[in-house]
Chains A and B, each alone.
Chain A
Amino acid sequence: MILILDYGLGNVYNLKNAIKKIGYESKISSDTDEIINADIVFLPGVGAFKAAMENLKNNNLIDALNKRKNANKLIVGICLGMQVMFEASYEDGYCEGLGYFKGVFKEFDIKLKSPHMGWNELIVNKKSFLTKGFNKENYAYYVHSYYLTEYNNENLILYSDYEVKVPGIILKDNLIGIQFHPEKSSKVGLKILENIIKEFI
């Protein structure tokens, strides 16, 4: 089963629609047993880091996610869902995340406009199943004001250039963090989702 974790932050149906487009059904749920047992868990999210951590905590979801992680079962974080998988963020003051990946989110301190919003080119840092079937040029849709720093370069699969290096996908064991929105990134986004699902189902 493909599960989309609903913890009250942002629309979950767009991801469900995208997964359906590549031919798979998914279930929107916040049931802890289902989270632990699903084949794939997508952790989406749009909003603020602190609110995301609080909602996960208040719905007793952190324990279920930790159990999944310890059992080496796939978790795919998207946008804010990706951010909470890291050590911490400085959004509205320092806030600790789930700590699955090394790295901290900091606000863009650049000449370019913030939020980093729009289609940016994906640059491959490390080949993996995630980039199977890529074209010569591939673009993804990003919307965020905080970006990942102090991460482990070995785990960096894709990044984009926005005055600074903006990590796009981090992969470690069975944990995937995606900063951009694959569900909104046209064919390239669907390809990435398809690559993930086919690898794990």
Chain B
Amino acid sequence: MITKRIVPCLDVKDGKVVKGKQFENLNIIEDPVVMAKYYANSLADELVFYDISASNENRKTVFDLAKEVAKEINIPFTIGGGINSIEDFDKALQSGADKVSINSSAIRTPELIMIASKKFGKQCVVLSIDAKFENGKWMVYSKGGRKNENMDVLTWAIIGEKLGAGEIVLNSINSDGEKNGFSENIIKTLCENLSIPVIASGGAGNMEHFLNVFKNTDVDAALAASVFHNKEIEIKKLKEYLKLNDIKVRL
């Protein structure tokens, strides 16, 4: 049986790992290659690197970073942030990334999903959605959670799947950095209506939050950043706890 995946996420700015509360007040933590090695050796199932550099100049370093990471680890990893074209996809994959995550660029140019999926295969096209619950609805946001796109989250996810996305990452802006658990309702809705894997992101604060999202939804993977970076949760202990509670994990 396939296992549930635990995915540490590294937000990278100008070549350094950062993590902020609700996308702001970013703090530099550590060298991304050092952290990637640490996670690969401590039972992380895959890694995600989000490049949040402000300028394109600094963004180029993310492909160099991917090359360095690929040399050091042998688990799958995803590159996201600032991927705007098929050329960017190609560069990321040639640098050794297994998957490429797109968010704002897919909203601007949905065909990017289709073209990338046809050219490189759907397995490497990840549609990342920043979702915010307001006025009783889950809405799609962009620009790091600042711009409301006036689009329903489920509708966008279904369009993404139809265009050829191979996986959906749901980042809940409401839960991000709050450490009160994942936004299970919207994750459940997505899992019930999609036939591609879904990754839950935003809100992990303790081991029970992971157990709950795996127990209460059909989600395939759970992503978190600060609880892993701060070593509040050790992945091995988390997996032992999940296994004890009948969740299938790789140990």
Report A's interface with B, CB cutoff 8 A: 10-11, 13-14, 17-18, 21, 46-48, 112-121, 137, 139, 141, 143-145, 160-162, 181, 183-186, 189-190
Contact = CB atoms under 8 A, between A and B. Distances in A.
Given A13-B70, A119-B250, A121-B1, A47 B121 contact: yes
B2 interface: yes
B13 interface: no
Contacts of B250: 119, 139
Nearest to A13: B96
Given A115-B123, A117-B167, A119-B5, A184 B74 contact: yes
Interface residues of B, number: 29
A113 B196 contact: yes
A11 B69 CA distance: 14
B63 to A, nearest CB: 12
B2 A116 contact: yes
Contact of A186 (B74, B124, B167): B74
A113 B121 CA distance: 16
19 contacts: A11-B93, A17-B71, A46-B124, A113-B196, A115-B196, A117-B166, A117-B197, A118-B45, A118-B197, A119-B2, A119-B250, A120-B1, A121-B1, A139-B3, A145-B123, A184-B74, A184-B75, A186-B75, A190-B74
B120 interface: yes
Contacts of B71: 17
Which 3 pairs of residues, A with B, have the shortest CB-CB distance? A139-B250, A119-B250, A143-B123
A185 B251 contact: no
B3 A11 contact: no
B145 interface: no
A184 B76 contact: yes
Contacts of B120: 46-47
B137 to A, nearest CB: 26
Contacts of A18: 74
B220 interface: yes
Nearest to A183: B74
Contacts of A181: 76
Given A10-B93, A113-B197, 18 more contacts: A11-B96, A14-B98, A17-B70, A17-B71, A47-B121, A115-B122, A116-B2, A117-B166, A118-B3, A120-B2, A120-B3, A121-B3, A141-B75, A143-B123, A145-B123, A162-B1, A162-B2, A184-B74
Interface string B1-37: 1110100000000000000000000000000000000
Contact of A113 (B70, B93, B98, B220): B220
Contacts of B3: 118-121, 139
A113 B5 CA distance: 15
B189 interface: no
A186 B37 CA distance: 11
B94 interface: yes
Contacts of B93: 10-11
Interface in B210-228: 220-221
B180 interface: no
A115 B98 CA distance: 14
Given A11-B93, A46-B121, A139-B250, A118 B74 contact: no
A68 B82 CA distance: 44
B40 interface: yes
Contacts of B121: 46-48
Given A11-B93, A137-B251, A21 B2 contact: no
